[in-house]
Amino acid sequence: MKAFSVAIFLLLFMHQTVAANGRPDKTTVIKTLGANILLPCWNTATNVTPSFTRWMKNGQFIIGRNHSIIPTPSSEGHLTIMYNQSLYINGLALSDEGIYLCDSLPHDNNTQTSLTLQIVSCPGNGITDIHPATTLSNGTLVVHRGSTVLFNCSSWSYPSQRLTWEFQGVAYRNDSLTAGSGSWLDFRIEDIQPTAQGNYICRAQNSVSQKEVGWSKELLVYYSPEKHPECQWKIGKDPSHVQFNCSWFGGYPSPTLLWGEKHQVPASQGNEVAGQLMESEVTDRLVINLNRSLLFDGQTLKCDGYHPMISTEDEKFCSFTLKSPYPEGEPLVTALEGTNITLTCKESSSLPPALTTWQRTAQQEDVVPSPKYVLLGQGPTFTLTIVNITKQDEGLYFCRSENPLMVRELEIYLTVKTSSQSTGAIIGIFLAILIVGSGIVIAKTVYSSRDRICLGNGFERMEEEREDVLSLVESDEEVFPEAVPRLPPLSLTNGHSTTLVQIHRISSNDHEDEEIVEHPLQLENTDMEELVTF
Ligand SMILES: *[C@@H]1O[C@H](CO)[C@@H](O)[C@H](O)[C@H]1NC(C)=O
Ligand SMILES: *[C@@H]1O[C@H](CO)[C@@H](O)[C@H](O)[C@H]1NC(C)=O
Ligand SMILES: *[C@@H]1O[C@H](CO)[C@@H](O)[C@H](O)[C@H]1NC(C)=O
Ligand SMILES: *[C@@H]1O[C@H](CO)[C@@H](O)[C@H](O)[C@H]1NC(C)=O
Ligand SMILES: *[C@@H]1O[C@H](CO)[C@@H](O)[C@H](O)[C@H]1NC(C)=O
Ligand SMILES: *[C@@H]1O[C@H](CO)[C@@H](O)[C@H](O)[C@H]1NC(C)=O
Ligand SMILES: *[C@@H]1O[C@H](CO)[C@@H](O)[C@H](O)[C@H]1NC(C)=O
Ligand SMILES: *[C@@H]1O[C@H](CO)[C@@H](O)[C@H](O)[C@H]1NC(C)=O
Ligand SMILES: *[C@@H]1O[C@H](CO)[C@@H](O)[C@H](O)[C@H]1NC(C)=O
Ligand SMILES: *[C@@H]1O[C@H](CO)[C@@H](O)[C@H](O)[C@H]1NC(C)=O
């Protein structure tokens, strides 16, 4: 506890009223408890040597002295009458308080002068109690925001005192929060807020001596940040470095932030997480710069936050598990000349998020937005729309994803069909339908006359033909490679979609019979473009 004297008005205060004869007739002497005092006696004329002196207190004799007798020096007690009649009191006690009067022989006819002795006790034994609060090593008290805090100050003064509580904050000061005259003074603050942070001073002033003593306590109001730490990253000015930024605002005092690396230990070793501390600081924001060469796929960078208001069991952190970019999309796209085509690429795995751009041609030139190329990025999906496709647009496109770990590209090949090709395709479809239609008719005819065909060696011939057809399917050969319309790309995500594929073939044998084989196929990504589907 820090005690200090604010002001000492006086240790010895005398109030005197002067009588008509020029001598004081009434005097009040104020003296602190425990001190020594000499009370003068004015009753004898200055030129007369007194023979006997007596001192009365509150009308009662307390001590007398025959001046003819020389006192032994050793006999000094609580009260002593000096040779000049003064009364010396050694070690004032509260019981010494009273009205003193001296009397001497020979008598002086002046009115007797009385002295009032007032004992005072400085404010002392001051205790300031602020609770509930915790005390820091430097004596500063800490309370939690929102709590109700009781302030109590007690002090002892004689005969009475005035107590006040004062506040000195950063924002404002209040010289009198509350005041009173008892032996203690208390007040409370409900739902304490950070503005109540500052110094609380209890002052005690002796009502008689005016002597003042004060005790001061520094009070801090702590509160925890509301959310979790936030992890962010950004490529540093030097591109070989990545900045990882951990911030945790809104608390007082500042938290301790730790950036570390966590490795997942194999399950056989108990699946524990081994950590390596990279940097730690008492701050709201901790930024670390990591050389890209130190980063790898699957690495976890973690920022732990510790705050005095949050127990260490209540873990507060944010983390990154680094992941390489992985752009996904259709590798083969076909478009018709004169139309618009949109190439789509999805980048959802990269962490930190990748920078995804489009490039074209084998030279990998960057695609810049223009009336020809419309670039769009919505969340993880990136699209490139090529307006008014021409034959020159045919070729390679790259969806390039880059994050601090690596660069990965999705290669897309765009095939452009001319409108004449599409006319041919329509004719092809028409022809195909025509042939299929007639084929069904012929097949039906063959079926209805199957008993006749099966007679003789007809059965054997049919088996051979079936083999022929099946082998055709396996080799994926097309009868009309140019006349086949290209389908828009199928979704690759469900690689198991079953499509009924019809392959038409005119028998190489002399007979005019035509066979239609219906065969369900599992579509595979690689040969999709080669399949004829309706
Ligand atoms: C003072 O002491 C002397 C010598 O002992 C004595 O003669 C005298 O009477 C005393 N005076 C008084 C007032 O007692
Ligand atoms: C009386 O004597 C004391 C010391 O012997 C001295 O301090 C004091 O001033 C004297 N009082 C008067 C009124 O002369
Ligand atoms: C003091 O007063 C008394 C009577 O009251 C008188 O007898 C005496 O002479 C006076 N003494 C002096 C020194 O004036
Ligand atoms: C005591 O410590 C706290 C926390 O470290 C600090 O904020 C405060 O200023 C210190 N007070 C004094 C008086 O040094
Ligand atoms: C304040 O402190 C005094 C002395 O320690 C004690 O007697 C009193 O009960 C306290 N007041 C409150 C409200 O706690
Ligand atoms: C100071 O405290 C007193 C007593 O609680 C209160 O009436 C007054 O409004 C306060 N002043 C300020 C500026 O807070
Ligand atoms: C770190 O993140 C915080 C919070 O978003 C931001 O205010 C600060 O500027 C960032 N610092 C750096 C160096 O990126
Ligand atoms: C980053 O690390 C690589 C390999 O360890 C090193 O060659 C390079 O100088 C480092 N870059 C910086 C800026 O420290
Ligand atoms: C192709 O894109 C351009 C530009 O966005 C637009 O004006 C035009 O209508 C589009 N054409 C078709 C057929 O969608
Ligand atoms: C598309 O391109 C062709 C050839 O460059 C041009 O003649 C035609 O006007 C363009 N169409 C549109 C809608 O821009």
Q: For ligand 5, atom 1, which residue shows the shortest CA distance?
A: 152
Please check the confidence at residue 518 and state whether its pLDDT lies above 50.
no
Which of 235, 291, 292, 295 is the best mutation target for the ligand 8 pocket, counting ligand atoms within 8 Å of the beta carbon and taking the most? 291
**Is residue 50 very low, low, confident or very high in pLDDT (cuts 50, 70, 90)?**
confident
What does the pLDDT read at residue 68?
A: 86
Record the tokens describing residue 45, joined without a space.
């004329």
What does the pLDDT read at residue 445?
A: 45
What does the pLDDT read at residue 391?
A: 92
Q: For ligand 5, atom 5, which residue shows the shortest CA distance?
A: 154
**Is residue 241 very low, low, confident or very high in pLDDT (cuts 50, 70, 90)?**
confident
Q: How far apart are the first and last CA of the chain?
A: 94
pLDDT tens digits, one per residue of 78-135: 898 888 888 999 999 999 999 998 887 766 655 567 889 999 988 888 899 998 999 9
- 128 by Cβ neighbours in 10 Å (0-12 / 13-18 / 19+) ranks as buried
108 and 7 in a common domain: yes
> Could you give the number of structural domains in the chain?
5
Quick check: 275 and 302 in contact, CB under 8 A? yes
What does the pLDDT read at residue 18?
A: 40
Q: Which of 1-5, 127-131, 424-428 has the lowest mean pLDDT?
A: 1-5
Cα(43)–Cα(55) distance, rounded to whole angstroms? 11
Q: How many CB atoms lie within 10 A of CB 149?
A: 21
Q: Which of 209-213, 378-382, 502-506 has the lowest mean pLDDT?
A: 502-506
Whether 218 is in the pocket of ligand 4, judged by its Cβ within 6 Å, is yes
Range list of H helices, 271-379: none
Please check the confidence at residue 487 and state whether its pLDDT lies above 60.
no
Cα(257)–Cα(303) distance, rounded to whole angstroms? 7
The number of the ligand 2 atom at minimal distance from the alpha carbon of 86 is 1
The number of the ligand 2 atom at minimal distance from the alpha carbon of 40 is 13
Range list of H helices, 186-291: none
Which of 166, 168, 177, 187 is the best mutation target for the ligand 6 pocket, counting ligand atoms within 8 Å of the beta carbon and taking the most? 177
pLDDT tens digits, one per residue of 439-484: 554 445 444 444 444 343 434 443 333 333 332 333 333 333 333 3
| Ligand with minimal distance to 393 CA | 10
Please check the confidence at residue 374 and state whether its pLDDT lies above 90.
yes
Please check the confidence at residue 140 and state whether its pLDDT lies above 60.
yes
The number of the ligand 10 atom at minimal distance from the alpha carbon of 338 is 1
What does the pLDDT read at residue 400?
A: 95
Mean pLDDT for the chain overall = 75
Last residue of a domain, one of 222, 247, 264: 222
Instruction: Confirm whether 448 is domain-assigned.
Output: no
Q: How many CB atoms lie within 10 A of CB 370?
A: 9
Residue with tokens 């509301």, as numbered in its chain: 226
Whether 390 is in the pocket of ligand 10, judged by its Cβ within 6 Å, is yes
pLDDT tens digits, one per residue of 6-36: 333 333 334 443 434 444 556 888 898 999 9
Which of 125, 127, 178, 184 is the best mutation target for the ligand 5 pocket, counting ligand atoms within 8 Å of the beta carbon and taking the most? 184
| Ligand with minimal distance to 249 CA | 7
Please check the confidence at residue 142 and state whether its pLDDT lies above 60.
yes
Last residue of a domain, one of 57, 86, 112: 112
Last residue of a domain, one of 93, 112, 131: 112
Q: Give the side-chain half-sphere CA count within 13 A for 348.
A: 9
Which of 388, 391, 392, 393 is the best mutation target for the ligand 10 pocket, counting ligand atoms within 8 Å of the beta carbon and taking the most? 388
- 172 by Cβ neighbours in 10 Å (0-12 / 13-18 / 19+) ranks as exposed
Whether 152 is in the pocket of ligand 5, judged by its Cβ within 6 Å, is yes
6 and 107 in a common domain: yes
Quick check: 179 and 155 in contact, CB under 8 A? no
Please check the confidence at residue 533 and state whether its pLDDT lies above 70.
no
pLDDT above 90 as % of the chain: 42
Q: For ligand 4, atom 14, which residue shows the shortest CA distance?
A: 138
Residue with tokens 């409108």, as numbered in its chain: 419
What does the pLDDT read at residue 248?
A: 95
Please check the confidence at residue 379 and state whether its pLDDT lies above 80.
yes
161 and 60 in a common domain: no
128 and 97 in a common domain: no
Whether 80 is in the pocket of ligand 5, judged by its Cβ within 6 Å, is no
pLDDT tens digits, one per residue of 185-197: 999 999 999 999 9
Query: How long is the chain?
Result: 534
Q: Which residue has the higher pLDDT, 246 or 362?
A: 246
Quick check: 173 and 200 in contact, CB under 8 A? no
Residue 273, domain extent: 230-321
Instruction: Confirm whether 303 is domain-assigned.
Output: yes
CATH code of the domain in which 80 resides: 2.60.40.10
Instruction: Confirm whether 203 is domain-assigned.
Output: yes
Rg (CA), the chain: 53
202 and 242 in a common domain: no
What does the pLDDT read at residue 338?
A: 92
295 and 382 in a common domain: no
Whether 110 is in the pocket of ligand 2, judged by its Cβ within 6 Å, is no
User: Mean pLDDT over residues 133-152, rounded?
Assistant: 94
CA nearest neighbour of 301 among 288, 316, 283, 285? 288
Quick check: 192 and 221 in contact, CB under 8 A? yes
100 and 8 in a common domain: yes
215 and 133 in a common domain: yes
- In angstroms, what is the span from residue 67 Cα to ligand 3's centroid? 22
pLDDT tens digits, one per residue of 329-369: 999 999 999 999 999 999 998 888 888 999 998 889 999 99
212 and 133 in a common domain: yes
Rounded to two decimals, the pTM is: 0.59
Quick check: 440 and 422 in contact, CB under 8 A? no
- In angstroms, what is the span from residue 78 Cα to ligand 1's centroid? 24
Instruction: Confirm whether 442 is domain-assigned.
Output: no
Cα(167)–Cα(175) distance, rounded to whole angstroms? 6
Instruction: Confirm whether 263 is domain-assigned.
Output: yes
- In angstroms, what is the span from residue 130 Cα to ligand 5's centroid? 11
Sign of CA dihedral 132, 137, 138, 139: positive
Q: For ligand 9, atom 5, which residue shows the shortest CA distance?
A: 387
317 and 276 in a common domain: yes
Please check the confidence at residue 166 and state whether its pLDDT lies above 50.
yes
308 and 238 in a common domain: yes
Task: State the Cα angle at 146 between 144 and 151, rounded to 5°.
Answer: 70
- In angstroms, what is the span from residue 339 Cα to ligand 10's centroid? 9
H or E stretch covering 516: strand 515-522
Instruction: Confirm whether 509 is domain-assigned.
Output: yes
List, chain by chain if needed, residues with CB within 6 Å of any ligand 7 atom: 232, 234, 243, 245, 247, 285, 287
Instruction: Confirm whether 399 is domain-assigned.
Output: yes
Instruction: Confirm whether 534 is domain-assigned.
Output: no
Cα(129)–Cα(186) distance, rounded to whole angstroms? 9
CA nearest neighbour of 192 among 171, 217, 218, 222? 222
Whether 138 is in the pocket of ligand 4, judged by its Cβ within 6 Å, is yes
Please check the confidence at residue 220 and state whether its pLDDT lies above 80.
yes
**Is residue 204 very low, low, confident or very high in pLDDT (cuts 50, 70, 90)?**
very high
294 and 358 in a common domain: no
pLDDT tens digits, one per residue of 396-414: 999 999 888 889 999 999 9
CATH code of the domain in which 259 resides: 2.60.40
